[in-house]
């Protein structure tokens, strides 16, 4: 099977920001051949690269975001003319979905549109950029009816698609594969002692947050307010915020405004290989988003046997079993979030039981090999159905 995928980020080429490159190499190996078109800008100076025997990636090197549509479409035309493409897969129901649909019409090729978040008719998302996202919302609701298959990463989005009139048999709930073995098999080492010495963490309780702080839906303000209440009750607590805060300095300023600077640590960017160290360092994993697709960081935390305290975002039940593997608070409710954090900090045995249960849960539900195989099976099924 020869698959053309249109993506919204260049991580598969750069290898930065997680395990995207490794994951797509596995997709390509199982599918037979995978060619990717990925969004990039001219200043990135990326070049086409063969990442494996089965995976080829082409950056668009666009002048700006709007021109990505034209550039991706033109690259797609050249690829489809040069070789027989059996399936087109896009990574969102907006810009890449539109490019995929145009190529589908031109070359009569089946199309799968993926959705890695919780977008359509989501008031929190629409409020971020009202005009732009209103237009995206209208586009997305039309494009999902044009696809031959739809992949979502949480059940809440699947239910939304069905409510919008999409036949259930055209929708697959398939979360993004996570390398949980990377976290399950990690063995704490002297690096833990090094970090404890560097930040004076000995005898402290440690909370961890991991993510992209520039994304508005992450709602760090609610987490800051909750943490402020936590340290009023338990002073010896540290919050580690793991992400590129050089791109979101307002959060650093906000920490200072709230007087939290002595309790909050910003390690900066780290490699994906270093992540398990931080999960094993913490006592609890904390999360305060307004929405997500499927928060991989929570799967990683669970695989590291950590209890999770999070806001009740759509699709959270796919990861956190409330009362068994973690505790949930209403969105933007810092009081309840703080109460849940304090409950588990004051009851470490309960937190450990939840962490152990979380690890067992993700081992059953999120095996990387199983998820990759399921996604490629979906691809083959859509191609098979299209040929009938």
* Cβ-contact 14, 36 below 8 angstroms: no
Residues near 224 by Cβ (< 8 Å), separated by ≥ 6?
Answer: 254, 255, 258, 260
State whether 238 and 340 are in the same domain.
yes
The reported pLDDT for the residue numbered 388 is: 64
Q: Indicate the average pLDDT of the chain.
A: 95
State whether 118 and 36 are in the same domain.
yes
State whether 220 and 236 are in the same domain.
yes
Q: Give 343-385 pLDDT, tens digit per residue.
A: 999 999 999 999 999 999 999 999 899 999 999 999 999 999 9
State whether 35 and 172 are in the same domain.
yes
Q: Looking at residue 354, which CATH number applies to its domain?
A: 3.40.50.2000
Query: Average pLDDT, stretch 174-196?
Result: 88
Token readout for 153 is 């990463």
Q: Give the domain extent around 123.
A: 2-177+368-387
- Single out the residue of 116, 100, 114, 89 nearest to residue 35, CA to CA: 89
Token readout for 363 is 């081992």
State whether 212 and 337 are in the same domain.
yes
State whether 325 and 227 are in the same domain.
yes
d(CA 169, CA 149): 9
State whether 102 and 248 are in the same domain.
no
Query: Which is it for strands 308-311 and 326-329: parallel, antiparallel or unpaired?
Result: parallel
Please tell me the total count of domains within the chain: 2
Query: Average pLDDT, stretch 177-181?
Result: 91
Residue 16: pLDDT over 80: no
d(CA 156, CA 359): 23
Query: Average pLDDT, stretch 14-24?
Result: 85
d(CA 337, CA 222): 8
Q: Give 271-281 pLDDT, tens digit per residue.
A: 888 999 999 99
State whether 335 and 189 are in the same domain.
yes
* Cβ-contact 112, 73 below 8 angstroms: no
DSSP labels, 25-52: HHHHHHHSEEEEEE--BGGG----EE-S
State whether 97 and 213 are in the same domain.
no
State whether 95 and 185 are in the same domain.
no
State whether 193 and 145 are in the same domain.
no
Q: Give 39-93 pLDDT, tens digit per residue.
A: 999 999 999 999 999 999 999 999 999 999 999 999 999 999 999 999 999 999 9
* Cβ-contact 36, 79 below 8 angstroms: no
The reported pLDDT for the residue numbered 187 is: 82
The reported pLDDT for the residue numbered 17 is: 66
State whether 55 and 164 are in the same domain.
yes
- In sequence order, what E strands does the chain have? 2-7, 33-38, 49-50, 55-59, 87-90, 111-115, 149-152, 171-173, 205-210, 237-242, 264-265, 284-287, 308-311, 326-329
């Amino acid at each position: 099977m020869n698959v053309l995928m249109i993506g919204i980020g260049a991580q598969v080429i750069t290898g930065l920001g997680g395990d995207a490159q490794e994951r797509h190499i596995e997709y390509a190996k199982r599918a037979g051949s995978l060619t990717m078109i990925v969004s990039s800008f001219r200043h990135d100076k990326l070049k086409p690269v063969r990442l494996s025997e089965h995976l080829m990636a082409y950056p668009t090197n666009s002048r700006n975001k709007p021109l990505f549509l034209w550039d991706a479409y033109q690259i797609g035309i050249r690829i489809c003319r040069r070789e027989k493409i059996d399936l087109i897969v896009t990574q969102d129901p907006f810009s890449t979905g539109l490019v995929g649909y145009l190529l589908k019409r031109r070359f009569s090729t089946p199309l799968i549109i993926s959705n890695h978040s919780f977008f359509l008719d989501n008031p929190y998302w629409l409020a971020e950029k009202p005009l732009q996202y209103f237009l995206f919302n209208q586009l997305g609701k039309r494009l999902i009816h044009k696809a031959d298959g739809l992949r979502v990463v949480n059940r809440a989005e699947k239910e939304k698609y069905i409510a919008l009139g999409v036949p259930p048999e055209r929708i697959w709930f398939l979360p993004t594969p996570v390398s949980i073995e990377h976290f399950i098999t990690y063995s704490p080492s002297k690096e833990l002692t090094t970090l404890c010495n560097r930040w004076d963490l000995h005898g402290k309780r440690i909370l961890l947050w991991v993510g992209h702080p520039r994304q508005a839906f992450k709602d760090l303000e609610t987490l800051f307010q909750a943490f402020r209440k936590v340290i009023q009750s338990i002073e010896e607590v540290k919050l580690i915020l793991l992400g590129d805060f050089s791109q979101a300095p307002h959060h650093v300023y906000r920490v200072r405004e709230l007087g939290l600077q002595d309790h909050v640590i910003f390690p900066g960017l780290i490699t994906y290989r270093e992540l398990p160290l931080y999960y094993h360092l913490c006592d609890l994993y904390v999360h305060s988003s307004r929405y997500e697709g499927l928060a991989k960081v929570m799967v990683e935390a669970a695989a590291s046997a950590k209890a999770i305290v999070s806001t009740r975002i759509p699709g959270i039940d796919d990861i956190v079993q409330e009362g068994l593997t973690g505790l949930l608070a209403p969105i933007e409710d810092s009081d309840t979030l703080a109460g849940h954090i304090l409950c588990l900090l004051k009851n470490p045995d309960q937190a450990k039981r939840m962490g152990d249960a979380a690890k067992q849960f993700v081992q059953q539900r999120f095996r990387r090999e199983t998820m990759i195989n399921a996604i490629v099976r979906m691809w083959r099924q859509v191609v098979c159905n299209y040929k009938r």
